[in-house]
Structure 1
Amino acid sequence: MSRREELLDQVTDYVLEHGLIGLTLRPVAAAIGTSDRMLLYHFESRDDLVTAVVTRSNDRAVASIRALEPADGVRAGVNELWRRYQIEPLHSCLDVYVQAAATRLIGVEPYLSAVRAANERWYAGLCDYFVACGAPHGAVRRVVTLVDSSLFGFHLDLATDRPEELAQGVDDLAAAAEALAGA
């Protein structure tokens, strides 16, 4: 593994633990045992580093989705995915994405292109998961669009609502996704 990749993994671990908002080079460099100049040597700019961290975090989330065992049906798949959203590594990876969106990073370059590519990998991982759970190829894109957007909303609600209170809404979503898959 190259030194850049090692640093990227360390910074990503730091961001997953401490968050993306307010990230500055000196404190993160000190926390991982390097200098801000070394980070700039390997990443050119803070924007380049943040883009790489958001991408690496997304890649970890996709790997987590790809490692899921298929559930017995689309409804069970949605409920299992929601359960995974609430635990590591998905919980922190999704938080990084939300923080990037909240700070308006992902809608402009240099972030936009990297995030679009990362989103395509995320979407493909979800499509593969739901096909494995029984969604037909012809309906899986509609199922994933519904589920992905909705679960992100539920994920945001975790900050103020109790997971057990959200579970019924998620199961209602799961029933709708199952019906859509069968349509």
Structure 2
Amino acid sequence: MAKDSDRRDVWARQATDYALEHGLIGLSLRPLAASLGTSDRMLLYHFGTKDHLVAAVLRESNDRAVDGIAALAPSPDIRTAVHDLWAAVNSPAYEPCTRLYVEAAALGLLGQEPYVTVVREANERWLRSLVTHLTRSGVARPLAKRIATVVDAAFIGFQLDAPLDVGTAARRRKVTDLAEAVAGLS
């Protein structure tokens, strides 16, 4: 029989897969539990509250995105680094993580927990991953921190604008403009 912590970890990963497909807004425990082959009571037993489950989902999703950035090869220059980071953020594996983060951040802006706390934690880890990629790509750490902050803010804006964009060419131009702008910081 699996230990409770093992079961909790498995369910956190499976619940993350579910949330990446269905989103956080309107997340209901019964359909989630049914998709995991358990009951909402068992989820509450293992996670304590729905908020703790959501926090575990957000952490798992963020871990996946951070791992994706960590797996990137160093980029040859700042401009390429911006394009490489954007490609990773928008890859089929990690774009749903970004969408989930945007949902959580919006709910966090409204002061809802666990979103405020988990999004703050996620932001810190995410920015560190961007800084690490940039420094591995030859950018000095102080500059990498500045660039990571600008890139992160722009990427979130691009994500929010994505449904309004008229096509990939417009989005590609935005990323190229961002790459040029941050290259000018060096």
TM-score (norm 1): 0.92
Which residue of structure 2 aligns with residue 83 of structure 1?
Answer: 87
Identify the range of structure 1 (156-165 vs 39-48) with the bigger mean alpha-carbon deviation.
156-165
Aligned to 1:175: 180
2:60 alignment partner, SS class: helix
2:134 corresponds in structure 1 to 130
- Once residues 135 and 25 of structure 1 are traced to their aligned partners in structure 2, the CA distance between those partners, rounded to angstroms, is 45
Determine if contact 2:33/2:39 at 8 Å carries over to the other structure.
Answer: yes
Answer yes or no: is 1:27 the counterpart of 2:5. no
Report the CA distance between 1:114 and its aligned residue: 2.7
Instruction: In structure 2, give the amino acid aligned to 1:163.
Output: T
Task: String of CA shifts for 1:70-104, please: whole Å, max 9, x gaps.
Answer: 11101001011112222222200000011112334
Q: Secondary structure at the match of 1:123?
A: helix
> What is the root-mean-square deviation in Å for CA atoms of aligned residues?
1.6
Deviation at 1:113, TM superposition (A): 2.5
Other-structure match for 1:145? 149
Matched residue SS, 2:66: helix
Q: How does 1:5-44 map to 2 (within 5 A)?
A: 5-44=9-48
Shift of 1:106: 7.5
Cα shift at 1:46: 0.8
List runs of 5+ in structure 1 lacking aligned partners: none
> How many positions carry a matched residue from both structures?
181
Instruction: Assess, with a 3 A threshold, how the Cα gap between structure 1 residues 76 and 114 changes in structure 2: closer, same or farther.
Output: same
Task: Write the distance in 2 (CA, Å) between the matches of 1:160 and 1:153.
Answer: 11
4+ residue stretches of structure 1 with deviation over 4 A? none
Deviation of 1:105 (Å): 6.8
Q: Which residue of 1 aligns with 2:171?
A: 166
Larger RCO (CA within 8 A; separation ≥ 6): 1
User: Secondary structure of 2:163's match?
Assistant: coil
Structure 2 residue matching 1:142: 3-state secondary structure: helix
Question: Match for residue 118 of structure 2?
Answer: 114
- Alpha-carbon spacing, 1:14–1:89, altered in 2? closer, same or farther (3 Å): same
